[in-house]
């Protein structure tokens, strides 16, 4: 499509940007609102209009017939169902853990049994400060309802390949929610499509740290990345710090793929990891 | 009350392990400062400090006021710092938390009580009118080490500030505008700065200029305030677990070296700004002249 | 609307006494009054029985506090404010910036008014506004040395939510500031009324003995014979500072109007004793003869009137409805004459209506005595899109009528 | 004097931030927005179905006073009307807007805040856009002074404002409504109407709105309409941020 359409709150979405197949129901992503005619005069059928509520680029996804606004990447994460998040357990009660997804907002509820293979007796022992990789189950109805997260797919009872569950060791770095979304899209999309998200840092690091024993990474949509290189004994710490520095630098300066490669080599050299 | 997000166990352990290998999250060494940038606004006494992610703006202002009755010879110098939600989402607007009182207290001790600004030079007419210098610190981004950054900001502001010239004629004080008479710089007796150390592993590991996460993971903090000549004007170990006394001795030498380095950066920035103003000044006069020619 | 709209035949399933209906569904209760269903032929009135542009009964009486220079109690319906004005003396030595003059300010420091030409005596040509230009710069005294210190307090018990010992709420502080900035921008108080002069004659030999005998005669308002003396130097030695304390003792909506009217009434009632500087014992001396006390001469009589806009659609703020932009708004407004009315501008909203009106308008108007021209001193509209130019014109007319009433009331008390 | 300069997201810790410099009135304001957050002391539970908006204005070189409380009330009134407090994730939460007046000469006690009000309004709308807080529309504001001869001066400097007979601040939404009007000093109704026309021209280019609902972008007499200025600032920021997507597309 032509240069992407940037909308400001109050602007109407021009109809030619709507996804093609009008049959399937149109799904609205964040940042959009459907307004109906205030006083539908009996003559005209009530006119509906799509207006933006946030400023950003209009992105239409014809496959899933969804339309949403890509707004600024530094905004605060608002829990939405089916998002993968890294939560930090704050305290636990009889059968629930209360975890923090974003600071300065109420805790999310994580059932003590919603882990893979967890039973009354073999439930995981988590204390305050432990990290958990979970999926947002529901954000409750009505104002101020509790957000519920779980580390297991309620349907199958198994945690998907993503490796939901407690995260042991490693280090967590803070990145912007927009960059986290890009990382998730890049890592979930088949490798050759990584170019689309403009991120080569992950497989670049993968190649460079192959010899040193590679690394494990989990990206939370709430702007947290968990990195662990425990299987490269001596320079485990330095490798983790290198990965963390690469991600935060790319997030801050919005580097394009070639600069990302240069940055990775420079930081690995600085951290004295022979690649 | 300051409810910054608590540090997770993984982060705390990792920071400690990394420090044991003399590695820090941003690749610095234990005694290395974060990149410091100082920029000055158009008015005198308007400084913007950026120390890594911690950023703040200092505004110095001057006013004629009545001196305190008990010290008719002295001018008045006050530092006002208010932590707003702009610096960190955890801070509350309009309510003074204990962190704010602690930082303001240290700042007062290091700069005001050590008489960095000679208040006697601020007196205009004994007992009747004197200059009141007020330093306002606006924290625009907090990522650890607020005390050092504020000290740098206030000291740079004081050295950059020029107050209007004032003359006393038979009991009547005449204040000249900035454009009428060349404004007068403040009389700075010495340039104290503070250096904050954080200890880990019962004092075995000591780092300088800690970020917010390193501060939360640390056990105790030691603040040393001294000037270029090496005179210590402030020394405090405020909270946290006990620290071996030798740490104070060894770290004071490191602190002196850092203070000299910081004062060097401040002076370089001041010279650069003076040069810009001088060049700007000439351009200003040039423009003013041809304005008159054209006008 | 539930109960009243059901068909009269079927017994209403749930009937609520009006007071409960008002508390449960405040918006619907007021809407039912303002746009009664056509079948009931009732006129459209407000829940408190007033017409949309009708103000509550206002009463004011002055001189109600003894130990003040001026005081007034003003009642606007149930909202009552007590205002007391106390005048204190501020010596010029105590003002830090008194002995400081900015070289850049062009006018020679007029603190020592050289009484060269007798005609140019301040405070003489008081009534006509013509000397507007002459005492223009004088008003800077009031602002520079803050000679007017209003303080409004929503004291405990004035409304249910006000607990004792609480710090002044943001609302009270905002009202105090509004009154102060209105006092400054309307330039209500003349600064000569607040100045205390000292006539320091330059003691040439022949004047010495004349000086002794005219020492008793009051020099300050001495507009008589001694004017002939060549260049006597008159100097300001002190100022009157007016501490204006306003207590809202009962709050039922619209505190600003009642507070401002109380300030007006109290200022009109203020009497300042004659004061002059006594050179011998270096102090300001006031005469305690009531007859010699002088009233303040106020510039005009700015009267404030506040309005709230009540929207017919309770959820107009957030309902997912297309908000017509300004152009369509005007078309809808015209076509509205026939159809149902969508919003009402309520004058002098009481506590109940204030809770339902998000958009507020506050107008302060004044009628210049000579040519009867209407001058707006303050126009504040915030919190909504409803009021535009056409409504604003109607509101100005309403507030001019309000000006006449207040003028009448203040004349009587 | 050049037009205003604004930038989005200059600060690191805030969810949304903006800086706005207007050389004409000499005002330089830094604003930050944290939303949606939980307000301590359960202050957000007072309006359970809606978001609670808190505004805090910090003066540049003076302790905060009653004047700031008044300005915060005005800003809360105007912003409260366009922030959609019931969108997902915002009911019973707080929207904390902090504004620091970084550069402008001191506002004396009781004197008018009007010259700095448009800068505060623009900074808060840009910070809200940077924090992606759901809004129903945007707005733009301007300050006008009418001097004793009745001539309208737009964006007056502090000396002009002090000498003016009356000062007016008008804010217009992106759909042409009059959102906010603050006027002080002595003026009559048709002066106010002339000021209204001029302000509408400044904020919206031509007074007639474009038919397609978008804002008519015609150049007006002195500078690009303020509404367009807000739009351009946001577009530049979004272009920079999504450069990777735009190049790839």
CATH code: domain of residue D210:
3.30.230.70
Of C270, C297, C324, which one is at a domain's C-terminal end?
C297
Classify burial at D142, counting beta carbons within 10 Å of its beta carbon; exposed 0-12, middle 13-18, buried 19 or more. Answer: buried
Number of domains chain A is built from: 3
CA pair distance C184, D184, nearest whole angstrom: 10
For B66, the 3-state DSSP assignment is coil
Residue C222 has pLDDT above 50, yes or no: no
- Residue C7: what pLDDT? 46
The chain-wide mean pLDDT, for chain D, equals 85
Least Cα distance to D51 among D98, D17, D83 occurs for D83
Residue C5 has pLDDT above 50, yes or no: no
Give every CB contact of residue A46 below 8 A, 6+ residues apart in sequence.
Answer: A36, A37, A40
Q: Which domain holds residue C69?
A: 58-123+130-197+235-297
User: Are C267 and C379 part of one and the same domain?
Assistant: no
ipTM value, please give it: 0.89
**Contact indicator for B47, B266 with CB cutoff of 8 Å:** no
- Residue D211: what pLDDT? 37
- C-alpha distances in angstroms, B183 versus A250, B58, B241, B277, C101? 46, 19, 49, 13, 16
List the single residue in C with minimal CA-CA distance to B126: C96
User: Are A239 and A193 part of one and the same domain?
Assistant: yes
- Higher-confidence residue of D159 and D172: namely D172
User: Are A222 and A255 part of one and the same domain?
Assistant: yes
B-chain residues within 8 Å CB-CB of C109? 172
Residue A131 has pLDDT above 90, yes or no: yes
Strand order of the β-sheet with B220-226 is: B205-208, B193-200, B220-226, B232-240
Of A167, A182, A214, which one is at a domain's C-terminal end?
A167
Number of domains chain C is built from: 2
Q: Name the residue facing A241 among B3, B11, B23 (closest C-beta).
A: B23
Q: φ and ψ at C387, to 5 degrees?
A: -85, 120
Beta bridge partners of D167: D145, D184
Number of domains chain D is built from: 1
User: Are C147 and C180 part of one and the same domain?
Assistant: yes
CATH number at C162 reads: 3.30.230.70
Q: Is residue A275 in some structural domain?
A: no
User: Are C254 and C112 part of one and the same domain?
Assistant: yes
* Chain B partners (3+ C-beta pairs within 8 A): A, C, D
Of C275, C297, C319, which one is at a domain's C-terminal end?
C297
Q: Is residue C208 in some structural domain?
A: no
A-chain residues within 8 Å CB-CB of C321? 35-38
State whether residue A12 sits within 8 Å of chain C by CB: no
CA D110 to chain centre: 22
- Higher-confidence residue of D109 and B45: namely B45
Residues D27-53, buried b or exposed e (16+ Cβ, 10 A)? bbbbbbbbbbbbbeeeebeeeeebbbb
Least Cα distance to A123 among A84, A159, A166, A86 occurs for A166
Digit-coded pLDDT (tens) for C96-119? 777 777 765 543 344 443 333 333
- Residue C73: what pLDDT? 95
Q: Which CATH number is B9-279 given? A: 3.30.230.70
Copy the structure tokens of residue C344: 């009402």
CA pair distance B94, B89, nearest whole angstrom: 13
Of A167, A184, A203, which one is at a domain's C-terminal end?
A167
Of A71, A101, A119, which one is at a domain's C-terminal end?
A71
Q: Is residue A196 in some structural domain?
A: yes
Helix or strand run (H / E) with residue A179: helix A177-188
User: Are C168 and C286 part of one and the same domain?
Assistant: yes
Least Cα distance to B17 among A166, A245, A169 occurs for A169
User: Are C285 and C392 part of one and the same domain?
Assistant: no
Digit-coded pLDDT (tens) for A21-75? 667 778 888 888 888 776 656 555 667 888 899 999 988 888 788 888 888 888 8
For B201, the 3-state DSSP assignment is coil
- Residue B86: what pLDDT? 93
Q: Tell me which residue has tokens 């882990």.
A: A115
User: Are C337 and C366 part of one and the same domain?
Assistant: yes
**Contact indicator for D75, D124 with CB cutoff of 8 Å:** yes
Q: Which domain holds residue D160?
A: 5-248
Give every CB contact of residue C56 below 8 A, 6+ residues apart in sequence.
Answer: C50, C76, C77, C78, C79, C348, C350
- Cα-trace Rg, chain D: 18
User: Are A180 and A258 part of one and the same domain?
Assistant: yes
A-chain residues within 8 Å CB-CB of B6? 88, 90, 100, 128-129
CATH number at A24 reads: 2.40.50
Query: Which residues of chain A approach chain D closer than 8 Å at the C-beta?
Result: 1, 3-4, 6, 8-12, 30-31, 33, 51, 53-57, 70-76, 78-80, 104-106, 139, 142-144, 178, 182, 195-199, 254, 256
User: Are C185 and C144 part of one and the same domain?
Assistant: yes
- pTM for the structure as a whole: 0.90
Copy the structure tokens of residue C291: 């007859």
Q: Is residue A125 in some structural domain?
A: yes
Q: What is the mean pLDDT of residues C353-364?
A: 91
Angle between the C389-412 and D189-204 helix axes, to the nearest 10 degrees?
150
Q: How far is A199 from chain D (nearest CA, A)?
A: 9
List the single residue in B with minimal CA-CA distance to A89: B8
The chain-wide mean pLDDT, for chain C, equals 79
Q: What is the mean pLDDT of residues B43-61?
A: 94
CA pair distance A148, A133, nearest whole angstrom: 13
User: Are C273 and C390 part of one and the same domain?
Assistant: no
User: Are A32 and A97 part of one and the same domain?
Assistant: no
Question: Inter-chain contact A245–B27, Cβ cutoff 8 Å?
Answer: yes
Q: Which domain holds residue A239?
A: 171-270
Angle between the D189-204 and D226-241 helix axes, to the nearest 10 degrees?
30
CA pair distance C56, D90, nearest whole angstrom: 39
CA pair distance B92, A76, nearest whole angstrom: 18
Q: Is residue C184 in some structural domain?
A: yes
- Higher-confidence residue of C327 and B76: namely B76
**Contact indicator for B60, B158 with CB cutoff of 8 Å:** yes
Classify burial at B70, counting beta carbons within 10 Å of its beta carbon; exposed 0-12, middle 13-18, buried 19 or more. Answer: exposed
Residue B146 has pLDDT above 80, yes or no: yes
Digit-coded pLDDT (tens) for C162-220? 888 888 888 999 999 999 999 998 889 998 888 888 887 766 555 555 544 444 443 44
User: Are A101 and A133 part of one and the same domain?
Assistant: yes
Q: Where are the beta strands (DSSP E) in chain D?
A: 5-8, 16-22, 27-37, 52-58, 94-103, 139-146, 152-154, 166-173, 178-187
Question: Residue A12 has what DSSP assignment?
Answer: B
CA pair distance B276, C104, nearest whole angstrom: 27
- Residue C152: what pLDDT? 94
**Contact indicator for B40, B269 with CB cutoff of 8 Å:** yes
What's the helix, strand, coil split of chain D in %, to 5?
35, 30, 40
Digit-coded pLDDT (tens) for A218-229? 999 999 999 998
Q: What is the mean pLDDT of residues C3-21?
A: 66
What is the pLDDT confidence band of residue D206, given thresholds at 50, 70 and 90? low
User: Are C75 and C179 part of one and the same domain?
Assistant: yes
In this structure, how many other beta carbons lie within 10 angstroms of the beta carbon of residue A97?
28
Angle between the D66-82 and C170-186 helix axes, to the nearest 10 degrees?
110
Q: What is the mean pLDDT of residues C35-46?
A: 81
User: Are C285 and C363 part of one and the same domain?
Assistant: no
D-chain residues within 8 Å CB-CB of B133? none
User: Are A176 and A250 part of one and the same domain?
Assistant: yes
**Contact indicator for A209, A244 with CB cutoff of 8 Å:** no
Q: Name the residue facing A106 among D38, D86, D247 (closest C-beta).
A: D38
Q: Please spell the DSSP secondary structure of A244-259, one letter per residue.
A: HHHHHHHHHHT--HHH
For C269, the 3-state DSSP assignment is helix
């Amino acid at each position: 499509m032509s240069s992407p359409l940037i909308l400001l709150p109050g602007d109407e979405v021009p109809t030619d940007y709507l996804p093609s197949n009008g049959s399937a129901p149109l799904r609205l992503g964040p940042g959009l609102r459907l307004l109906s005619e205030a006083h539908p005069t009996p003559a005209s059928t009530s006119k509906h209009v799509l207006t933006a509520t946030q400023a950003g680029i209009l992105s239409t996804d014809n496959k899933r017939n969804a339309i949403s606004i890509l707004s600024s990447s530094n905004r605060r994460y608002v829990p939405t169902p089916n998002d993968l998040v890294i939560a930090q357990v704050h305290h636990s009660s009889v059968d629930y853990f209360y975890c923090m997804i974003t600071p300065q907002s109420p805790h999310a509820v994580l059932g003590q049994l919603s882990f893979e293979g967890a039973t009354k007796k073999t439930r995981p022992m988590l204390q305050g400060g432990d990290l958990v990789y979970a999926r947002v189950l529901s954000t409750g109805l009505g104002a101020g309802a509790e957000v519920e997260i779980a580390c297991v797919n309620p349907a199958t009872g198994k945690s998907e390949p993503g490796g939901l569950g407690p995260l042991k060791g490693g280090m967590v770095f803070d990145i912007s929610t927009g960059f986290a979304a890009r990382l998730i899209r890049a890592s979930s999309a088949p490798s050759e499509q990584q170019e689309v998200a403009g991120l080569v840092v992950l497989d670049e690091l993968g190649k460079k740290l192959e010899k040193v024993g590679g690394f494990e990474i989990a990206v939370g949509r709430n702007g947290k990345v968990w990195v662990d290189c425990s299987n490269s004994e001596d320079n485990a710490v330095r490798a983790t710090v290198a990965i963390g520095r690469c991600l935060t630098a790319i997030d801050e300066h919005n580097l394009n793929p070639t600069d990302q490669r240069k940055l990775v080599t420079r930081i690995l050299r600085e951290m004295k990891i022979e690649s | 009350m300051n409810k910054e997000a608590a540090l997770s166990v993984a982060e705390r352990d990792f920071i400690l392990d990394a420090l044991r290998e003399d590695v820090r999250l941003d690749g610095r060494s234990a005694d290395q400062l974060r990149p410091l940038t100082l920029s000055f606004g158009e008015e005198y006494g308007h400084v913007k400090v950026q120390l890594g992610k911690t950023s703040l703006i200092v505004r110095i202002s001057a006013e004629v006021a009545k001196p305190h009755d008990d010290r008719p010879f002295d001018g008045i110098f006050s530092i006002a710092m208010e932590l707003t939600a702009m610096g960190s989402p955890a801070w509350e607007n309009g309510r003074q938390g204990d962190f704010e009182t602690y930082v303001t207290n240290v700042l007062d001790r290091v700069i005001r009580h050590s008489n960095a600004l000679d208040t006697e030079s601020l007196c205009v007419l004994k007992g009747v009118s004197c200059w009141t210098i007020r330093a306002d610190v606006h924290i625009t981004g907090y990522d650890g080490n607020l005390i050092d950054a504020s000290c740098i900001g206030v000291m740079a502001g004081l050295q950059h500030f020029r107050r209007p010239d004032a003359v006393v004629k038979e009991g009547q004080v005449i204040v000249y505008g900035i454009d009428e008479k060349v404004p007068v710089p403040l009389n700075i007796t010495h340039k104290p700065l503070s250096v904050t150390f954080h200890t880990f592993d019962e004092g075995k590991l000591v780092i300088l200029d800690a970020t917010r996460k390193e501060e939360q993971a640390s056990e105790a903090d030691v603040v040393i305030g001294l000037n270029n000549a090496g005179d210590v004007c402030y020394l405090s170990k405020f909270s946290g677990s006990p620290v071996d006394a030798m740490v104070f001795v060894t770290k004071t030498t490191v602190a002196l070296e850092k203070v000299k380095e910081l004062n060097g950066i401040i002076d370089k920035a001041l010279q650069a700004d003076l040069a810009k103003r001088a060049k700007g000044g000439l351009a200003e006069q040039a423009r003013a002249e041809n304005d008159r020619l054209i006008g | 609307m539930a109960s009243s709209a059901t068909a009269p035949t079927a017994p209403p399933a749930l009937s609520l006494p009006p007071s409960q209906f008002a508390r449960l569904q405040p918006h619907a209760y007021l809407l039912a009054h303002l746009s009664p269903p056509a079948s009931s032929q009732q006129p459209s009135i407000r829940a408190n029985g007033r017409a949309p542009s009708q103000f509550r009964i206002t009463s004011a009486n002055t001189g109600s506090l003894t130990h003040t220079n001026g005081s007034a109690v003003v009642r606007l319906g149930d909202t009552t404010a007590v205002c007391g004005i106390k005048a204190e003396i501020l010596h010029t030595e105590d003002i830090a910036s008194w002995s400081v003059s900015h070289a850049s300010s062009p006018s020679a420091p007029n603190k020592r008014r050289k009484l060269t030409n007798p005609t140019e005596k301040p405070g003489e040509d008081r009534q006509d506004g013509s000397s507007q230009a002459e005492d223009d710069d004088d008003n800077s005294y009031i602002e520079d040395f803050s000679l007017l210190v209003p303080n409004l307090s929503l004291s405990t018990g004035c409304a249910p939510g006000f607990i004792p010992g609480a710090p002044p709420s943001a609302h009270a502080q905002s009202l105090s500031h509004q009154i102060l900035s209105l006092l400054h921008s309307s330039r209500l108080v003349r600064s000569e009324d607040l100045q205390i002069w000292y006539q320091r004659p330059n003691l040439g030999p022949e004047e010495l003995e004349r000086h002794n005998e005219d020492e008793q005669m009051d020099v300050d308002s001495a507009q008589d014979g001694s004017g002939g003396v060549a260049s006597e130097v008159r100097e300001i030695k002190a100022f009157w500072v007016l501490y204006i304390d306003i207590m809202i003792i009962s709050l039922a909506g619209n505190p600003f109007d009642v507070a401002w009217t109380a300030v007006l009434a109290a200022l009109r009632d203020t009497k300042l004793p004659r004061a002059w500087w006594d050179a011998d014992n270096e102090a300001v001396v006031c005469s305690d003869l009531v007859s010699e006390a002088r009233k303040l001469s106020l510039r005009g009589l700015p009267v404030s009137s506040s309005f709230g806009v009540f929207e017919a659609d309770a959820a107009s703020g957030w309902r997912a409805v297309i908000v017509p932009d300004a152009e369509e708004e005007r078309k809808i407004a015209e076509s509205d004459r026939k159809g149902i009315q969508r919003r009402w501008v309520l004058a002098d909203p009481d506590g109940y209506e204030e809770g339902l009106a998000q958009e507020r308008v506050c107008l302060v108007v004044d009628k210049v005595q000579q040519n009867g021209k209407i001058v707006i001193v303050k126009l504040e509209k915030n919190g909504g899109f409803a009021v535009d130019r056409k409504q604003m014109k109607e509101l100005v007319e309403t507030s001019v009528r309000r000006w006449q009433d207040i003028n009448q009331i203040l004349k009587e008390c | 004097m050049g037009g205003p300069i604004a930038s989005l997201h200059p600060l690191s810790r805030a969810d949304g931030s903006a800086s706005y410099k207007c050389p004409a009135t000499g005002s330089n304001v830094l604003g930050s927005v944290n939303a949606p957050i939980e307000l301590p002391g359960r202050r957000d539970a007072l309006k359970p179905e809606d978001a609670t908006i808190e505004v805090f204005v910090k003066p540049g070189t003076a302790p905060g006073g009653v004047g700031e409380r008044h300005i915060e009330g005005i800003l809360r009134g105007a912003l409260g009307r366009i922030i959609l407090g019931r969108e997902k994730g915002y009911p019973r939460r707080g929207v904390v807007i902090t504004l620091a007046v970084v550069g402008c000469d001191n506002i004396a006690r009781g004197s008018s805040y009007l010259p700095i009000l448009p800068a505060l309004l623009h900074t808060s709308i840009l910070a809200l856009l940077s924090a992606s807080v759901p809004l129903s529309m945007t707005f733009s504001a301007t300050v006008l002074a009418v001097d004793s001869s009745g001539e309208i001066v737009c964006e007056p400097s502090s000396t002009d404002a002090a000498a003016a007979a009356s000062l007016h601040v008008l804010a217009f939404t992106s759909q042409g409504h009059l959102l906010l009007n603050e006027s002080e000093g002595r003026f009559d109704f048709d002066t106010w109407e002339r000021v209204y026309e001029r302000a509408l021209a400044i904020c919206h280019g031509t007074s007639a709105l474009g038919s397609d609902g978008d804002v008519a972008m015609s150049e007006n007499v002195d500078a690009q309409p303020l509404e367009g200025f807000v739009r351009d600032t946001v577009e530049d920021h979004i272009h920079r941020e999504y450069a990777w997507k735009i190049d790839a597309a």
